[in-house]
Structure 1
Amino acid sequence: MTAQAALAAVSIATLLPSPPPAGQHAAPLPACWRGTVLTFVAHTDDDLLFMNPDQYNAIRQGQCMRVVYLTAGDRGEGQPYLQARERGIMAAYARMARVANRWRNDGWSVGGHTIVRHTLLAAPRVQLLMLRIPDPWLGPGWGSLTPLSRLESVSRTNVQSYAPYRETYTRSSLVAWLSSVIQAVQPSTIRLMDASIATAYTQLCWHCPGHDHPDHIAGAKLVREAMRQTPGPYLAQAYLGYPSQERPANLTAIERAFKTATFLRYMVDDPHYCPPQTPCSRPKGPETAWVWRQYRIGPDGQPLTPVQQARQ
């Protein structure tokens, strides 16, 4: 067995949980005496590429970790690719928690919707929450809308999530749901992507300086609106996405090595990064820049204040 196959063979539970019995309420979240980090990202690698090593450091410090993935990240390829990406992100978080890659998979009902919840068995303070909103390009590629960016920007739009919980969301209901999550989790820190990029979604391009993925921007705008509706004593912390590659590398050698190894563990399960029967030993393309960088900003795109920096 190759090293790649051995990593991929790590045992996890099924990714398709049965729906909860009618009337079942969300199970209470574990006690989180050292605080809870509530992270919102669009895709099941955004947190690894743009929010690490902060994610790892919070887990190492004993904080609870709740990560909400707004889209399925399936690129229009459906549930097989969705499930591969979820296997990868679960394995990456098990690695960061330094426990066995075994998870309990069920449904979490909050705010009138039910989503997929993955709870790390040996460290149940780590939970990954999956909306599974389909995520194809709705046109020929960059400069097109995605379901999430269309939901955020086009009135009277709705989207339906993948099975097993086929929930329908409008812009207002998704913002309300995000607000319900904030209320339920009671986070000490909320992490989101950069919502400050003003370029219209249909004018974004892949290699243009300062541009980002429409899902990153749309998701961050929706989260920021939910935060405005749900004020609290939490620290709001945003992160640069693609534009981080335009700034100097700012992680230490140890941080780069750990972040790269964690992302590689995710890559093993993602066939777009690691096609079957091909070597998978290092990030390629822009990921080689992103794993050497992490840039925090305020939720409105401004640099963090000294008080915020002191709370890192």
Structure 2
Amino acid sequence: MKSRLPLRSALLSRRGVVAGSALAAALITGGAYAELAMSDTEGSDTPGHSASATPAAAPSGPVRPASGSVMQVIAHPDDDLFFMNPDTGQSLRSGRPMTSVYVTAGEADGVNAPPPKKPGGPKPLVDKAKYSEARQNGIRGAYAQMATGDRASAWTRSAIPTAGGGTAEVDTLNARPDIHLVWVQLNEAGTINGNQPHSLRGLWNGQVTTLASEISSGSPARPFAYTKEQVVKTLAGLMERFRPTHVRTLDPTPGKEGKLHKIVDHQDHIYSARFAQAALQLYAKSVNHPNFSVQTYVGYNTSYLPHTFAKPAADAKADIVKTYAWMNPNDNYCNSVAGCGDRKVSVRPYGNNWAQSVRYSRTNSTSWLQTGTDGSLWAFGVLDQQLAVWHKAPGANGSWSSPTLLPGSGMDSGVSATRLPDGRLAVFGTRTLFGSGLTDYRREVVAAVQTTPGGEFGAWRSLGSPDQSGSDGVFDMSTPTAAVDGSGKLTVFLRGGDRQLHSANLTADGEWTPWANLGGTNLAGDPVAATDGAGRVHVFSSTPKSMLTWAQPASGAAMPARAEDTKLPPNTTGLSARADGDGVRVYFRKVDSGNVQSVLFTGVVPSKVTDLGDTSGYGMVGAAGPLLAGRTASGALATLEPGADDPQWKSNGGILFTGAPAAVQDGSAAAAAAIGLDGELYWTQTDGTDGPAAAWQPAAR
């Protein structure tokens, strides 16, 4: 059964670009947008496509066609627009296939109207089927606008059988038939964190044995009631059908916020992500699936954190939300009696500080690229929920190996690494365990260490987790970070669910100590550790208002059990650090800007903040010597010209990537790497002179 939505030839969306932000230009239609939307390259940092006041440098080297496939598994229509954009729009414009799966119908109370300004008055019309349909129309318009520039571009609606036994609606964008929207249409909870048994949370926790669907008006799908195993099979079946190389979900273990220290994210966000985690385990075991990476996003919690975008970029992100929100209810461009969008959102298209930011959870480490004692390079990531290891032979002509996946499943995205005094490499991460049932859900820190320098890695070893991180079934914790001091002592650091810093040490007999609490208050994001030239370990962590630090008084001494406030202004809560002489240099992004800044610590007092110029973007930066790698405002992988008087991001081909780039000193030279959305490792290096870094290239095929 199929139906078609009408196609308008004229562009109905807003025209023009927002000056001052390449991200804004990439999000909003106009000018060069039509050309950009039809590009077969991976990103938008190419001449003529940037509206930045400081445009990106022209690509050096060939532009690669887009590769890989992206899938987003989310709870409600608009979760992707508020919490995953601009990444969603960048993927749509990149030319690669993309599928967004909406687990619930998003029917809420069935009222498609702004909240009343005053109590009383006429009762609003309640129609859950039509409200769900209106939200679908809004998403179709927003995706069409991002992908083609025309919010009214036509879609074909079809029904497919699900692996769980029901049917789902699949919408295909006619102008881009590799773009799909999949509507599973399960009942939503209807409450942020209230006890609603007939919900994803109730199904997961066994309060109900089945969860019914809420089919939107006009949908070709049919009603069905799913068990929790059937939901998992449905999502895994969709993954096998569309074969993503990169999967996005919301955070399955968001932290507690505010004075009441409670979970503020929507329960549907959390449990749609957990169902997706369970499905990913099945997808990883399926036959002939491509290697895939996973990225999780911060949801409601981002309201409490500093903005990552400048105002023009936030305005451009909200502009897409406005299409979804159907700001003018008299404009029935979608030709639907249900309406063309979600009028509840029309009064707050910026959400609750949501349009101003995008944040990744637990994939912010920039230490996953390391050198071996023989001058070789080692890179670590997570593919197929396993540790992926790439190795480059030493020497200028040494080649990269294809990735080797180590035994051990359930790895969360994001790992860190460090080199031990004897030359062996150690890798740290977290993994999710389901036990015998889906409700036996927990997370723990794990470590893998080479048996000999340059040799094989031993089995994963569990370090457990701080007690506070498992309370109330939250299991919120950061990616661990590790450092070795001048005496050879290895320490692992972790932000726990209590928003404090915890540490564990490797003893002389090879055992790990219990987790110790090092204090701190209201920590945000992932901490970062580095060792200075005197062998002292420094640890840094952001808070919503500043940056905290722990500085080892001397090599071999115990880490202080309390944090020092650096008095620095707030940053976008992402940090990276590298040794710099007798100190440690810390890099971060400026709030409401994204510009890269740095400070030097030789103790607990930072130097004056250094701004590296108009290098705005978002996400973490990897730093080694003069080489800096990061994400531009339009999402592309790029480097900064070492020593340039007017630093600008240099990008070739607009490679889109997951997590954060890493960089490492390689003798007199430096190297940087990132994992693309196609599951491939990309890298660049300097030659040890003041010249520019080489063009980004795939490490191995």
- Look up the match of 1:109: 161
Query: Given residue 177 of structure 2, which amino acid in structure 1 is its aligned partner?
Result: P
Specify which structure has the higher proportion of strand. Answer: 2
Residue-by-residue CA offset, 1:102-160 (whole Å, 9 max, x unaligned): 1111112241432011111111121110011122537xx74222511111112552012
* Secondary structure at the counterpart of residue 126 of structure 1: strand
1:35 to 68, 74, 80: 68
- Look up the match of 1:21: none
- Look up the match of 2:223: 166
Q: Whole-Å Cα distance in 2 between the matches of residues 236 and 166 of structure 1?
A: 30
Residue-by-residue CA offset, 1:72-117 (whole Å, 9 max, x unaligned): 1111422011111111111110110124431111112241432011
The count of aligned residue pairs is 269
The more displaced of 237-246 and 252-261 is 252-261
1:80 to 122, 125, 130: 130
Q: Whole-Å Cα distance in 2 between the matches of residues 251 and 209 of structure 1?
A: 27
Q: Whole-Å Cα distance in 1 between the matches of residues 245 and 96 of structure 2?
A: 9
Q: Whole-Å Cα distance in 2 between the matches of residues 250 and 53 of structure 1?
A: 12
Q: Whole-Å Cα distance in 2 between the matches of residues 36 and 91 of structure 1?
A: 21
Q: Whole-Å Cα distance in 2 between the matches of residues 295 and 136 of structure 1?
A: 25
Alignment of 1:133-282 (within 5 A): 133-137=186-190, 142-145=193-196, 147-154=199-206, 157-163=209-215, 164-197=221-254, 210-231=263-284, 233-268=291-326, 269-274=341-346
- Look up the match of 1:4: none
Residue-by-residue CA offset, 1:237-267 (whole Å, 9 max, x unaligned): 0000000112211124443232110001111
Alignment of 1:4-83 (within 5 A): 12=5, 34-77=67-110, 78-83=128-133
**Contact between 2:70 and 2:91, CA under 8 Å: does it hold in 1?**
yes
1:235, CA displacement in angstroms? 1.1
- Look up the match of 2:566: none
Q: Does 1:283 align with 2:341?
A: no
Q: Whole-Å Cα distance in 1 between the matches of residues 175 and 156 of structure 2?
A: 10
Change (3 A) 1:50 1:212: same
1:95 to 122, 145, 149: 145
Query: Given residue 143 of structure 1, which amino acid in structure 2 is its aligned partner?
Result: G
**Contact between 1:53 and 1:255, CA under 8 Å: does it hold in 2?**
no
Identity %: 26
* Secondary structure at the counterpart of residue 220 of structure 1: helix
Q: Whole-Å Cα distance in 1 between the matches of residues 213 and 176 of structure 2?
A: 28
Q: Whole-Å Cα distance in 2 between the matches of residues 105 and 196 of structure 1?
A: 34
Residue-by-residue CA offset, 1:38-78 (whole Å, 9 max, x unaligned): 00000000000000000000111111110000001111422
Change (3 A) 1:181 1:252: same
1:310, CA displacement in angstroms? 4.7
**Contact between 2:189 and 2:268, CA under 8 Å: does it hold in 1?**
no
Query: Given residue 136 of structure 2, which amino acid in structure 1 is its aligned partner?
Result: E
The more displaced of 84-93 and 158-167 is 158-167
Specify which structure has the higher proportion of helix. Answer: 1
Q: Whole-Å Cα distance in 2 between the matches of residues 51 and 309 of structure 1?
A: 19
Change (3 A) 1:136 1:230: closer
- Look up the match of 1:18: none
Q: Whole-Å Cα distance in 2 between the matches of residues 54 and 211 of structure 1?
A: 23
* Secondary structure at the counterpart of residue 296 of structure 1: coil
Q: What TM-score do you get using the length of structure 1 for normalisation?
A: 0.77
Higher relative contact order (CA 8 A, sep 6+): 1
Change (3 A) 1:165 1:33: farther
Q: What TM-score do you get using the length of structure 2 for normalisation?
A: 0.36
**Contact between 2:255 and 2:263, CA under 8 Å: does it hold in 1?**
no
* Secondary structure at the counterpart of residue 250 of structure 1: coil
Structure 1, unaligned stretches of length 5 or more? 1-10, 14-31, 275-279
Residue-by-residue CA offset, 1:175-234 (whole Å, 9 max, x unaligned): 1111111111110100001001377xxxx99x9665210000010011011112221511
Change (3 A) 1:41 1:86: same
The more displaced of 219-228 and 151-160 is 151-160
Q: Whole-Å Cα distance in 2 between the matches of residues 156 and 82 of structure 1?
A: 23
Q: Whole-Å Cα distance in 1 between the matches of residues 185 and 318 of structure 2?
A: 26
Change (3 A) 1:305 1:122: closer
What is the alpha-carbon root mean square deviation over aligned residues? 2.7
**Contact between 1:74 and 1:136, CA under 8 Å: does it hold in 2?**
no
Change (3 A) 1:110 1:89: same
Q: Whole-Å Cα distance in 2 between the matches of residues 144 and 255 of structure 1?
A: 37
**Contact between 2:202 and 2:208, CA under 8 Å: does it hold in 1?**
no
Change (3 A) 1:162 1:95: same
Q: Whole-Å Cα distance in 1 between the matches of residues 295 and 193 of structure 2?
A: 27
Change (3 A) 1:178 1:242: same
* Secondary structure at the counterpart of residue 272 of structure 1: helix
Structure 2, unaligned stretches of length 5 or more? 7-64, 111-127, 216-220, 285-289, 327-340, 363-411, 414-477, 480-525, 527-658, 663-672, 678-701
Query: Given residue 220 of structure 1, which amino acid in structure 2 is its aligned partner?
Result: A
Q: Whole-Å Cα distance in 1 between the matches of residues 261 and 356 of structure 2?
A: 20
The more displaced of 229-238 and 124-133 is 229-238
Q: Whole-Å Cα distance in 2 between the matches of residues 110 and 134 of structure 1?
A: 17
**Contact between 2:107 and 2:214, CA under 8 Å: does it hold in 1?**
no
